[in-house]
Amino acid sequence: MRWDRAGARPFVLGGSTTPAVKALLIANVAVFLFQWVARSMVQVRIESTFGLVPFEVVHHLYLWQLVTYLFLHNGLMHIGFNMLALWMFGNELESLWGTKKFLRFYFITGIGAAILSTLVAPNSYTIIIGASGAIYGLLAAYGVLFPDRIILLYFVLPIRAKYLVLILGVITFWFSVSGTGGGVAHVAHLGGMLFGWLYLRGPRLPRLGNPLGAYERWKRNRLRKKFQVYYQRTRGEDEGPEDDRR
């Protein structure tokens, strides 16, 4: 079946894995194995220290949890779906953006999701783990950049990326407001999508460049202006007597 009208084309699984996606896959799997070893053999749960606990972030400044929670998962299904989505959507986004911008977007959406979850429930002791916030940010980016790309939902139902992202956003928002959804951190999902959309479509903040580079540019512009003034002055002096002789 061909899906080539209106600029849409099939979503193809597979292809080479890009550097950042490969590194994130390895890191998540390695941390998941460490979780299993610590829980099964040493009887230690690292989730309470490295998972996102809003109360600890607000009252004890466990700020590292805003990042480390992204690499913890609760079971094979949890990490399996997150890593599958990272592989499916991350490769194309990294190929489009480059590794540096892709990683910046990934962690901005992941940390943004954690911040939103913390602001919504600052006194909560609930432990939030998983890369879902960043994954939902990737979904939002994919829906914005490739709105008519066809995705096989559950590998069976074809749906355009923009509609899939919209449906996921509405479901996540409803679960976040109603407090339902089987304990899944839907606020984090919503935060990832929100920060992803704002990053791509929102107003751009001025970037602070390299201070040394800015200073060098200022010196060059200053010298250029001095040269222009000197050139105009000397040119006027040279042309003055010639004008008087006319």
Q: What is the pLDDT along the chain (246 residues), one digit of tens a residue?
A: 333 434 444 554 545 789 999 999 999 999 999 999 888 876 678 888 999 999 999 999 999 999 999 999 988 888 988 898 899 889 989 999 999 999 999 999 999 999 988 998 899 898 999 898 899 899 889 888 888 888 776 667 788 888 887 887 777 666 655 554 444 467 777 788 888 888 887 655 444 444 445 556 666 676 676 666 655 666 655 555 555 544
| pLDDT value at residue 9 | 46
**What would the two tokens of residue 246 be?**
């006319």
SS3 (DSSP) at 42? coil
Strand-strand pairing, 150-153 and 157-160 = antiparallel
Judge whether 148 and 162 are in contact, CB under 8 Å: yes
Q: Which of 107, 188, 102 is nearest to 142 (CA)?
A: 102
Phi, psi of 52 (to 5 degrees): -85, 115
Measured distance CA(156)–CA(115) in Å, rounded: 35
Q: Which of 105, 52, 54 is nearest to 74 (CA)?
A: 52
**What would the two tokens of residue 215 be?**
């200073």
Judge whether 159 and 150 are in contact, CB under 8 Å: yes
| pLDDT value at residue 204 | 52
Strand segments, DSSP code E, in the chain are 150-153, 157-160
Chain centroid to Cα 56, Å, comes to: 24
Name the class of domain 5-201. mainly alpha
The identity of residue 211, as a single letter, is: P
Judge whether 143 and 166 are in contact, CB under 8 Å: yes
Report field, pTM of the whole predicted structure over 0.75: no
What are the residues whose beta carbons fall under 8 Å from the beta carbon of 34, sequence distance 6 or more?
46
